[in-house]
Structure 1
Amino acid sequence: MKTIIIEDEKAAVRNLTSLLEEVCPEAEIITVIDSISGTIEWFDSQPMPELIFMDIHLADGSAFEIFEHIRISCPIIFTTAYDEYALRAFKVNSIDYLLKPIGRNDIERALEKMKSLHHSGTEHPEQISTSMTSHDALLQLMRSLKRQENYKTHFLIPVKGDKLLPIPIEMIQLFYIKDCQVKAVLTDGTEHFFPQTLDELSENLNPSLFFRANRQFLLSREAIRDIDLWFNNRLSINLRHPITKEKILVSKARVADFKEWFGKKL
Protein backbone atom coordinates (compact mmCIF):
# COMPACT_ATOMS: atom_id res chain seq x y z
CA MET A 1 0.00 0.00 0.00
CA LYS A 2 1.76 3.10 -1.27
CA THR A 3 1.57 5.74 1.46
CA ILE A 4 2.78 9.30 1.82
CA ILE A 5 3.20 11.36 4.99
CA ILE A 6 2.59 15.11 4.92
CA GLU A 7 4.08 16.37 8.17
CA ASP A 8 6.62 19.03 9.18
CA GLU A 9 7.60 17.69 12.63
CA LYS A 10 10.45 15.19 12.41
CA ALA A 11 9.54 13.56 15.71
CA ALA A 12 5.96 13.02 14.49
CA VAL A 13 7.26 11.48 11.24
CA ARG A 14 9.50 9.09 13.20
CA ASN A 15 6.63 8.09 15.49
CA LEU A 16 4.19 7.53 12.63
CA THR A 17 6.75 5.59 10.59
CA SER A 18 7.54 3.35 13.54
CA LEU A 19 3.86 2.69 14.25
CA LEU A 20 3.14 1.83 10.62
CA GLU A 21 6.05 -0.61 10.57
CA GLU A 22 4.51 -2.39 13.56
CA VAL A 23 0.84 -2.23 12.65
CA CYS A 24 0.86 -2.28 8.85
CA PRO A 25 4.16 -3.56 7.39
CA GLU A 26 2.56 -3.65 3.94
CA ALA A 27 2.39 0.15 4.01
CA GLU A 28 5.23 1.46 1.84
CA ILE A 29 6.08 5.07 2.71
CA ILE A 30 7.13 6.44 -0.66
CA THR A 31 7.76 10.04 0.45
CA VAL A 32 7.52 12.49 3.34
CA ILE A 33 6.58 16.10 2.54
CA ASP A 34 6.70 18.99 5.02
CA SER A 35 4.92 21.84 3.21
CA ILE A 36 1.93 22.89 1.13
CA SER A 37 4.08 23.93 -1.82
CA GLY A 38 6.02 20.67 -1.72
CA THR A 39 2.80 18.64 -1.65
CA ILE A 40 1.32 20.46 -4.64
CA GLU A 41 4.56 20.04 -6.59
CA TRP A 42 4.75 16.32 -5.75
CA PHE A 43 1.17 15.62 -6.87
CA ASP A 44 1.75 17.48 -10.13
CA SER A 45 4.29 14.88 -11.21
CA GLN A 46 3.47 11.67 -9.30
CA PRO A 47 0.63 9.12 -9.42
CA MET A 48 -1.97 9.12 -6.67
CA PRO A 49 -0.89 7.10 -3.60
CA GLU A 50 -3.23 4.67 -1.86
CA LEU A 51 -3.22 6.45 1.50
CA ILE A 52 -2.13 9.80 2.96
CA PHE A 53 -1.33 10.75 6.54
CA MET A 54 -1.65 14.53 6.72
CA ASP A 55 -0.92 17.02 9.48
CA ILE A 56 -3.04 20.18 9.35
CA HIS A 57 -0.42 22.71 10.46
CA LEU A 58 2.50 22.61 8.01
CA ALA A 59 5.65 24.66 7.60
CA ASP A 60 4.01 27.17 5.25
CA GLY A 61 0.39 27.23 6.42
CA SER A 62 -2.79 25.18 6.73
CA ALA A 63 -2.97 21.88 4.87
CA PHE A 64 -6.51 22.73 3.73
CA GLU A 65 -4.92 25.11 1.21
CA ILE A 66 -3.66 22.04 -0.66
CA PHE A 67 -7.22 21.15 -1.71
CA GLU A 68 -7.62 24.55 -3.36
CA HIS A 69 -4.91 23.61 -5.88
CA ILE A 70 -5.14 19.87 -6.44
CA ARG A 71 -7.72 17.09 -6.28
CA ILE A 72 -6.82 14.20 -4.02
CA SER A 73 -8.78 11.03 -4.71
CA CYS A 74 -7.30 8.64 -2.14
CA PRO A 75 -8.25 8.29 1.56
CA ILE A 76 -6.68 10.72 4.02
CA ILE A 77 -6.00 10.22 7.72
CA PHE A 78 -5.48 13.57 9.39
CA THR A 79 -2.99 13.79 12.26
CA THR A 80 -3.04 16.94 14.39
CA ALA A 81 -2.78 18.37 17.89
CA TYR A 82 -5.97 20.42 17.42
CA ASP A 83 -9.54 19.15 17.54
CA GLU A 84 -11.35 22.19 16.13
CA TYR A 85 -10.83 21.20 12.47
CA ALA A 86 -12.61 17.84 12.61
CA LEU A 87 -15.74 18.78 10.68
CA ARG A 88 -13.73 20.60 8.03
CA ALA A 89 -11.46 17.58 7.63
CA PHE A 90 -14.35 15.27 6.83
CA LYS A 91 -15.32 17.43 3.86
CA VAL A 92 -12.14 16.42 2.01
CA ASN A 93 -12.50 12.60 1.93
CA SER A 94 -10.86 12.06 5.30
CA ILE A 95 -11.48 8.64 6.81
CA ASP A 96 -10.17 9.51 10.28
CA TYR A 97 -8.90 12.38 12.42
CA LEU A 98 -6.23 11.43 14.93
CA LEU A 99 -5.23 13.74 17.76
CA LYS A 100 -1.58 13.83 18.75
CA PRO A 101 0.14 12.17 20.48
CA ILE A 102 -0.80 9.25 18.24
CA GLY A 103 -0.53 5.70 19.56
CA ARG A 104 -0.64 2.20 18.13
CA ASN A 105 -4.36 1.79 18.86
CA ASP A 106 -5.16 4.99 16.95
CA ILE A 107 -3.41 3.71 13.83
CA GLU A 108 -4.98 0.28 14.11
CA ARG A 109 -8.51 1.71 14.37
CA ALA A 110 -7.96 4.11 11.46
CA LEU A 111 -6.63 1.39 9.16
CA GLU A 112 -9.43 -0.98 10.20
CA LYS A 113 -11.92 1.74 9.33
CA MET A 114 -10.35 2.12 5.89
CA LYS A 115 -10.56 -1.64 5.31
CA SER A 116 -14.22 -1.66 6.37
CA LEU A 117 -15.05 1.10 3.91
CA HIS A 118 -13.22 -0.77 1.18
CA HIS A 119 -15.05 -4.05 1.83
CA SER A 120 -18.41 -2.29 2.00
CA GLY A 121 -17.82 -0.85 -1.46
CA THR A 122 -17.46 2.75 -0.26
CA GLU A 123 -14.37 3.46 -2.29
CA HIS A 124 -15.11 6.63 -4.22
CA PRO A 125 -13.77 9.67 -2.35
CA GLU A 126 -17.11 11.50 -2.43
CA GLN A 127 -18.79 8.40 -0.96
CA ILE A 128 -16.15 8.26 1.77
CA SER A 129 -16.64 11.94 2.56
CA THR A 130 -20.43 11.58 2.78
CA SER A 131 -20.37 8.46 4.92
CA MET A 132 -17.76 9.87 7.27
CA THR A 133 -19.49 13.22 7.66
CA SER A 134 -22.79 11.65 8.62
CA HIS A 135 -21.38 9.39 11.33
CA ASP A 136 -17.74 9.77 12.28
CA ALA A 137 -17.72 13.57 12.10
CA LEU A 138 -20.61 13.62 14.56
CA LEU A 139 -18.71 11.28 16.88
CA GLN A 140 -15.62 13.45 16.53
CA LEU A 141 -17.65 16.55 17.38
CA MET A 142 -19.07 14.81 20.45
CA ARG A 143 -15.55 13.90 21.58
CA SER A 144 -14.49 17.49 21.03
CA LEU A 145 -17.38 18.80 23.12
CA LYS A 146 -16.60 16.27 25.84
CA ARG A 147 -13.01 17.43 25.84
CA GLN A 148 -14.16 21.05 26.18
CA GLU A 149 -16.11 20.08 29.30
CA ASN A 150 -12.82 18.99 30.86
CA TYR A 151 -10.85 22.16 30.13
CA LYS A 152 -9.42 23.78 33.24
CA THR A 153 -11.33 26.78 34.60
CA HIS A 154 -9.49 27.17 37.95
CA PHE A 155 -6.16 26.26 39.51
CA LEU A 156 -5.08 25.78 43.13
CA ILE A 157 -1.50 27.01 43.45
CA PRO A 158 0.74 26.35 46.49
CA VAL A 159 2.03 29.58 48.01
CA LYS A 160 4.33 30.33 50.93
CA GLY A 161 3.46 28.52 54.11
CA ASP A 162 0.63 26.00 54.03
CA LYS A 163 -1.80 27.82 51.74
CA LEU A 164 -3.36 27.13 48.37
CA LEU A 165 -4.25 30.11 46.21
CA PRO A 166 -7.35 29.68 43.98
CA ILE A 167 -6.80 31.27 40.56
CA PRO A 168 -9.56 31.40 37.92
CA ILE A 169 -8.39 31.07 34.36
CA GLU A 170 -9.68 34.59 33.60
CA MET A 171 -6.99 36.03 35.89
CA ILE A 172 -4.12 34.43 33.97
CA GLN A 173 -2.57 36.45 31.16
CA LEU A 174 0.17 34.04 30.15
CA PHE A 175 2.36 31.09 31.06
CA TYR A 176 6.07 31.02 30.31
CA ILE A 177 9.19 29.03 31.10
CA LYS A 178 11.81 30.57 33.37
CA ASP A 179 14.80 28.68 34.78
CA CYS A 180 13.28 25.38 33.56
CA GLN A 181 10.04 26.04 35.49
CA VAL A 182 6.63 27.27 34.38
CA LYS A 183 5.36 30.57 35.73
CA ALA A 184 1.99 32.27 35.27
CA VAL A 185 1.56 36.03 35.03
CA LEU A 186 -1.75 37.29 36.42
CA THR A 187 -3.76 40.34 35.37
CA ASP A 188 -2.23 42.38 38.22
CA GLY A 189 1.29 41.54 37.03
CA THR A 190 2.10 39.10 39.85
CA GLU A 191 3.76 35.79 39.00
CA HIS A 192 3.35 32.28 40.40
CA PHE A 193 5.17 29.01 39.74
CA PHE A 194 3.07 26.20 38.28
CA PRO A 195 3.87 22.48 38.65
CA GLN A 196 2.62 21.60 35.14
CA THR A 197 4.65 21.75 31.94
CA LEU A 198 3.60 24.00 29.08
CA ASP A 199 2.67 20.90 27.07
CA GLU A 200 0.35 19.73 29.86
CA LEU A 201 -1.20 23.17 30.17
CA SER A 202 -1.74 23.32 26.40
CA GLU A 203 -3.65 20.04 26.61
CA ASN A 204 -5.79 21.12 29.58
CA LEU A 205 -6.64 24.69 28.57
CA ASN A 206 -9.25 25.77 26.04
CA PRO A 207 -7.28 26.52 22.84
CA SER A 208 -9.66 29.36 22.02
CA LEU A 209 -8.40 31.19 25.13
CA PHE A 210 -4.65 30.53 24.95
CA PHE A 211 -2.21 30.38 22.03
CA ARG A 212 1.14 28.57 22.09
CA ALA A 213 3.29 31.29 20.52
CA ASN A 214 6.44 29.17 20.72
CA ARG A 215 8.09 26.60 22.98
CA GLN A 216 8.43 29.12 25.82
CA PHE A 217 5.17 31.12 25.83
CA LEU A 218 1.46 30.30 26.12
CA LEU A 219 -0.51 33.55 25.78
CA SER A 220 -4.03 34.89 26.29
CA ARG A 221 -5.29 37.81 24.22
CA GLU A 222 -5.25 40.03 27.31
CA ALA A 223 -1.50 39.53 27.64
CA ILE A 224 -0.83 41.21 24.30
CA ARG A 225 -0.23 44.98 24.20
CA ASP A 226 0.65 45.19 20.51
CA ILE A 227 2.47 43.29 17.78
CA ASP A 228 5.43 44.19 15.57
CA LEU A 229 5.96 42.83 12.08
CA TRP A 230 9.32 41.06 12.23
CA PHE A 231 11.90 39.65 9.83
CA ASN A 232 11.00 36.72 7.55
CA ASN A 233 7.25 37.36 7.93
CA ARG A 234 7.28 36.58 11.64
CA LEU A 235 5.46 38.46 14.40
CA SER A 236 7.00 39.92 17.56
CA ILE A 237 4.55 40.17 20.48
CA ASN A 238 4.81 42.92 23.08
CA LEU A 239 3.25 42.21 26.48
CA ARG A 240 1.14 44.41 28.73
CA HIS A 241 3.34 43.25 31.62
CA PRO A 242 6.86 42.89 30.14
CA ILE A 243 8.69 40.01 31.78
CA THR A 244 11.67 39.59 29.47
CA LYS A 245 13.84 41.57 27.06
CA GLU A 246 13.82 38.55 24.77
CA LYS A 247 11.61 38.82 21.69
CA ILE A 248 8.46 36.70 21.80
CA LEU A 249 8.30 35.57 18.19
CA VAL A 250 5.58 33.75 16.32
CA SER A 251 7.13 31.75 13.48
CA LYS A 252 6.15 32.33 9.87
CA ALA A 253 4.45 28.92 9.81
CA ARG A 254 2.17 29.87 12.72
CA VAL A 255 1.32 33.46 11.80
CA ALA A 256 -1.89 32.48 9.97
CA ASP A 257 -2.98 30.34 12.93
CA PHE A 258 -2.24 33.18 15.34
CA LYS A 259 -4.30 35.70 13.34
CA GLU A 260 -7.18 33.25 13.06
CA TRP A 261 -7.03 32.52 16.82
CA PHE A 262 -6.80 36.19 17.79
CA GLY A 263 -9.84 37.14 15.73
CA LYS A 264 -11.92 34.11 16.75
CA LYS A 265 -15.26 34.92 18.35
CA LEU A 266 -15.45 33.59 21.92
Structure 2
Amino acid sequence: MNILIIEDEMPAALKLERMLKGIDETIHLVKVLASVQEATTWLNNNQHPDLIFMDIQLSDGVCFEIFENCEISKPIIFTTAYHEYTLQAFKVNSVDYLLKPVDEDELKQAINKYRLLHKDDTQAKLQEVLKQLQPKRKERFLIKVGEHFKSVDVNQINCIYIEERCTFIQVGKDKNYAIDYSLEKVEGMLDENLFFRINRNMMVNFYAIKDIVIYSSNRLKLEMMNGHNSEPVLVSRERVNAFKKWMDR
Protein backbone atom coordinates (compact mmCIF):
# COMPACT_ATOMS: atom_id res chain seq x y z
CA MET A 1 0.00 0.00 0.00
CA ASN A 2 1.41 3.40 -1.02
CA ILE A 3 0.83 6.31 1.36
CA LEU A 4 1.45 10.05 1.37
CA ILE A 5 2.03 12.06 4.56
CA ILE A 6 1.20 15.77 4.62
CA GLU A 7 2.74 17.03 7.87
CA ASP A 8 4.81 20.14 8.64
CA GLU A 9 6.61 18.61 11.64
CA MET A 10 9.21 16.13 10.37
CA PRO A 11 9.60 14.28 13.72
CA ALA A 12 5.84 13.65 13.74
CA ALA A 13 5.96 12.44 10.13
CA LEU A 14 8.85 10.04 10.85
CA LYS A 15 7.12 8.71 13.96
CA LEU A 16 3.93 8.09 11.97
CA GLU A 17 5.92 6.23 9.32
CA ARG A 18 7.55 4.00 11.95
CA MET A 19 4.17 3.19 13.50
CA LEU A 20 2.71 2.34 10.09
CA LYS A 21 5.64 0.05 9.26
CA GLY A 22 5.09 -1.67 12.60
CA ILE A 23 1.47 -2.31 11.65
CA ASP A 24 2.22 -3.43 8.07
CA GLU A 25 5.77 -3.69 6.72
CA THR A 26 4.48 -3.60 3.13
CA ILE A 27 3.35 0.02 3.54
CA HIS A 28 5.46 2.29 1.34
CA LEU A 29 5.86 6.01 2.04
CA VAL A 30 5.84 7.88 -1.25
CA LYS A 31 6.50 11.39 0.03
CA VAL A 32 6.29 13.74 3.02
CA LEU A 33 4.90 17.19 2.17
CA ALA A 34 5.04 20.06 4.66
CA SER A 35 2.84 22.85 3.33
CA VAL A 36 -0.39 23.64 1.50
CA GLN A 37 1.57 24.94 -1.49
CA GLU A 38 3.90 21.96 -1.66
CA ALA A 39 1.04 19.47 -1.32
CA THR A 40 -1.08 21.24 -3.95
CA THR A 41 1.77 21.27 -6.47
CA TRP A 42 2.69 17.63 -5.86
CA LEU A 43 -0.91 16.34 -6.00
CA ASN A 44 -1.54 18.20 -9.25
CA ASN A 45 1.50 16.64 -10.91
CA ASN A 46 1.76 13.11 -9.57
CA GLN A 47 -0.30 9.94 -9.35
CA HIS A 48 -2.11 9.88 -6.03
CA PRO A 49 -1.23 7.06 -3.57
CA ASP A 50 -3.69 4.61 -2.05
CA LEU A 51 -4.07 6.50 1.22
CA ILE A 52 -3.19 10.00 2.46
CA PHE A 53 -2.35 11.00 6.04
CA MET A 54 -2.97 14.69 6.50
CA ASP A 55 -2.28 17.11 9.33
CA ILE A 56 -4.73 20.02 9.44
CA GLN A 57 -2.61 22.97 10.56
CA LEU A 58 0.30 23.24 8.10
CA SER A 59 3.17 25.71 7.87
CA ASP A 60 1.36 28.04 5.45
CA GLY A 61 -2.29 27.47 6.25
CA VAL A 62 -5.07 24.95 6.81
CA CYS A 63 -5.03 21.70 4.80
CA PHE A 64 -8.56 22.24 3.48
CA GLU A 65 -7.12 24.89 1.15
CA ILE A 66 -5.52 22.00 -0.75
CA PHE A 67 -8.94 20.72 -1.79
CA GLU A 68 -9.78 24.11 -3.29
CA ASN A 69 -6.92 23.82 -5.78
CA CYS A 70 -6.79 20.13 -6.69
CA GLU A 71 -9.14 17.17 -6.95
CA ILE A 72 -8.49 14.40 -4.44
CA SER A 73 -10.51 11.19 -4.68
CA LYS A 74 -8.26 9.02 -2.51
CA PRO A 75 -9.22 8.33 1.14
CA ILE A 76 -7.67 10.44 3.91
CA ILE A 77 -6.85 9.84 7.56
CA PHE A 78 -6.48 13.16 9.40
CA THR A 79 -3.91 13.47 12.19
CA THR A 80 -4.25 16.66 14.23
CA ALA A 81 -4.14 18.22 17.68
CA TYR A 82 -7.41 20.06 17.07
CA HIS A 83 -10.98 18.85 17.74
CA GLU A 84 -12.88 21.56 15.91
CA TYR A 85 -12.28 20.40 12.32
CA THR A 86 -14.01 17.02 12.61
CA LEU A 87 -17.13 17.91 10.62
CA GLN A 88 -15.17 19.64 7.89
CA ALA A 89 -12.80 16.67 7.64
CA PHE A 90 -15.56 14.18 6.99
CA LYS A 91 -16.76 16.21 4.02
CA VAL A 92 -13.53 15.45 2.13
CA ASN A 93 -12.94 11.68 1.78
CA SER A 94 -12.09 11.15 5.44
CA VAL A 95 -11.70 7.59 6.69
CA ASP A 96 -10.81 8.59 10.25
CA TYR A 97 -9.80 11.54 12.44
CA LEU A 98 -6.94 10.83 14.83
CA LEU A 99 -5.88 13.22 17.57
CA LYS A 100 -2.20 13.77 18.34
CA PRO A 101 -0.28 12.19 19.87
CA VAL A 102 -1.50 9.38 17.64
CA ASP A 103 -2.27 6.18 19.53
CA GLU A 104 -0.96 3.01 17.84
CA ASP A 105 -4.13 1.01 18.49
CA GLU A 106 -6.28 3.81 17.06
CA LEU A 107 -3.98 4.00 14.03
CA LYS A 108 -4.31 0.25 13.50
CA GLN A 109 -8.12 0.54 13.71
CA ALA A 110 -8.04 3.37 11.15
CA ILE A 111 -5.98 1.23 8.73
CA ASN A 112 -8.38 -1.69 9.18
CA LYS A 113 -11.31 0.65 8.56
CA TYR A 114 -9.69 1.88 5.35
CA ARG A 115 -9.13 -1.68 4.15
CA LEU A 116 -12.70 -2.68 4.94
CA LEU A 117 -14.20 0.34 3.17
CA HIS A 118 -12.01 -0.03 0.10
CA LYS A 119 -11.91 -3.80 -0.21
CA ASP A 120 -14.21 -3.80 -3.26
CA ASP A 121 -12.13 -1.09 -4.93
CA THR A 122 -8.98 -3.22 -4.50
CA GLN A 123 -10.72 -6.25 -6.00
CA ALA A 124 -11.97 -4.16 -8.92
CA LYS A 125 -8.41 -3.00 -9.61
CA LEU A 126 -7.17 -6.59 -9.51
CA GLN A 127 -9.87 -7.71 -11.95
CA GLU A 128 -8.97 -4.86 -14.29
CA VAL A 129 -5.28 -5.86 -14.22
CA LEU A 130 -6.15 -9.50 -14.91
CA LYS A 131 -8.40 -8.43 -17.77
CA GLN A 132 -5.58 -6.41 -19.32
CA LEU A 133 -3.22 -9.38 -19.06
CA GLN A 134 -5.59 -11.64 -20.98
CA PRO A 135 -4.89 -11.89 -24.72
CA LYS A 136 -7.11 -9.65 -26.82
CA ARG A 137 -9.64 -11.63 -28.84
CA LYS A 138 -9.83 -11.06 -32.58
CA GLU A 139 -12.91 -9.15 -33.72
CA ARG A 140 -12.50 -9.02 -37.52
CA PHE A 141 -10.67 -10.64 -40.41
CA LEU A 142 -9.43 -8.62 -43.38
CA ILE A 143 -9.77 -10.75 -46.49
CA LYS A 144 -8.88 -10.16 -50.13
CA VAL A 145 -11.64 -10.60 -52.71
CA GLY A 146 -10.25 -10.13 -56.21
CA GLU A 147 -8.89 -6.59 -56.33
CA HIS A 148 -10.76 -5.59 -53.18
CA PHE A 149 -10.42 -6.02 -49.43
CA LYS A 150 -13.33 -6.95 -47.20
CA SER A 151 -13.59 -6.84 -43.39
CA VAL A 152 -15.56 -9.69 -41.86
CA ASP A 153 -16.84 -9.56 -38.28
CA VAL A 154 -16.16 -12.84 -36.46
CA ASN A 155 -19.81 -13.01 -35.41
CA GLN A 156 -20.75 -13.44 -39.09
CA ILE A 157 -18.55 -16.53 -39.49
CA ASN A 158 -20.34 -19.89 -39.51
CA CYS A 159 -17.18 -21.97 -39.38
CA ILE A 160 -13.44 -21.98 -40.06
CA TYR A 161 -12.06 -25.01 -41.84
CA ILE A 162 -9.06 -26.49 -43.63
CA GLU A 163 -9.27 -27.58 -47.24
CA GLU A 164 -6.28 -28.55 -49.40
CA ARG A 165 -3.90 -27.19 -46.73
CA CYS A 166 -5.53 -23.75 -46.79
CA THR A 167 -7.68 -22.17 -44.08
CA PHE A 168 -11.09 -20.77 -45.02
CA ILE A 169 -13.92 -18.96 -43.27
CA GLN A 170 -17.51 -19.51 -44.31
CA VAL A 171 -19.80 -16.49 -44.14
CA GLY A 172 -23.49 -16.79 -44.95
CA LYS A 173 -24.45 -19.47 -47.45
CA ASP A 174 -21.57 -20.82 -49.54
CA LYS A 175 -19.43 -17.71 -49.18
CA ASN A 176 -15.95 -19.01 -48.47
CA TYR A 177 -12.86 -16.84 -48.09
CA ALA A 178 -9.24 -17.86 -47.62
CA ILE A 179 -7.38 -16.37 -44.63
CA ASP A 180 -3.66 -16.19 -43.91
CA TYR A 181 -3.74 -18.09 -40.60
CA SER A 182 -3.45 -21.72 -39.62
CA LEU A 183 -6.41 -23.25 -37.80
CA GLU A 184 -4.23 -23.62 -34.70
CA LYS A 185 -3.45 -19.89 -34.80
CA VAL A 186 -7.11 -18.96 -35.27
CA GLU A 187 -8.13 -21.17 -32.35
CA GLY A 188 -6.03 -19.05 -29.99
CA MET A 189 -7.36 -15.79 -31.43
CA LEU A 190 -11.11 -16.31 -31.10
CA ASP A 191 -13.47 -16.25 -28.12
CA GLU A 192 -13.70 -19.81 -26.79
CA ASN A 193 -17.29 -19.14 -25.69
CA LEU A 194 -18.28 -18.46 -29.30
CA PHE A 195 -16.13 -20.90 -31.29
CA PHE A 196 -15.26 -24.56 -30.72
CA ARG A 197 -12.88 -26.80 -32.60
CA ILE A 198 -14.91 -29.91 -33.36
CA ASN A 199 -12.17 -31.87 -35.15
CA ARG A 200 -8.69 -31.47 -36.67
CA ASN A 201 -10.04 -29.51 -39.62
CA MET A 202 -12.88 -27.33 -38.38
CA MET A 203 -14.11 -24.80 -35.81
CA VAL A 204 -17.78 -23.84 -35.57
CA ASN A 205 -19.70 -20.81 -34.34
CA PHE A 206 -22.16 -21.64 -31.55
CA TYR A 207 -24.89 -19.55 -33.18
CA ALA A 208 -24.47 -21.28 -36.56
CA ILE A 209 -25.39 -24.73 -35.19
CA LYS A 210 -28.94 -25.64 -36.21
CA ASP A 211 -29.14 -29.23 -34.97
CA ILE A 212 -27.02 -31.94 -33.31
CA VAL A 213 -27.53 -35.57 -34.27
CA ILE A 214 -26.06 -38.75 -32.76
CA TYR A 215 -23.77 -40.28 -35.38
CA SER A 216 -21.95 -43.60 -35.69
CA SER A 217 -18.90 -44.59 -33.61
CA ASN A 218 -19.73 -42.25 -30.72
CA ARG A 219 -19.55 -39.14 -32.85
CA LEU A 220 -21.97 -36.24 -33.34
CA LYS A 221 -23.17 -34.74 -36.59
CA LEU A 222 -23.92 -31.02 -36.79
CA GLU A 223 -26.44 -29.41 -39.08
CA MET A 224 -25.33 -25.84 -39.76
CA MET A 225 -27.64 -22.89 -40.38
CA ASN A 226 -26.24 -22.24 -43.84
CA GLY A 227 -24.96 -25.72 -44.59
CA HIS A 228 -21.34 -26.51 -45.32
CA ASN A 229 -20.40 -27.83 -48.73
CA SER A 230 -21.63 -31.40 -49.27
CA GLU A 231 -19.65 -33.14 -46.54
CA PRO A 232 -21.09 -33.96 -43.11
CA VAL A 233 -19.91 -31.78 -40.22
CA LEU A 234 -18.75 -34.22 -37.55
CA VAL A 235 -17.53 -33.82 -33.98
CA SER A 236 -14.63 -36.24 -33.54
CA ARG A 237 -14.90 -38.96 -30.88
CA GLU A 238 -12.16 -37.46 -28.69
CA ARG A 239 -13.88 -34.05 -28.67
CA VAL A 240 -17.48 -35.13 -28.04
CA ASN A 241 -17.39 -34.78 -24.23
CA ALA A 242 -15.71 -31.38 -24.38
CA PHE A 243 -18.19 -30.27 -27.05
CA LYS A 244 -21.15 -31.28 -24.87
CA LYS A 245 -19.73 -29.31 -21.93
CA TRP A 246 -19.17 -26.33 -24.23
CA MET A 247 -22.79 -26.48 -25.41
CA ASP A 248 -24.04 -26.84 -21.84
CA ARG A 249 -22.15 -23.94 -20.22
* Bucket of the pairwise TM-score, normalised by the shorter protein: 0.3 to 0.5
Give me the TM-score of the superposition, normalised by structure 1.
Answer: 0.45
Give me the TM-score of the superposition, normalised by structure 2.
Answer: 0.48
Greater C-alpha radius of gyration: 2
Structure with the greater relative contact order (CA < 8 A, sep ≥ 6): 1 or 2? 1
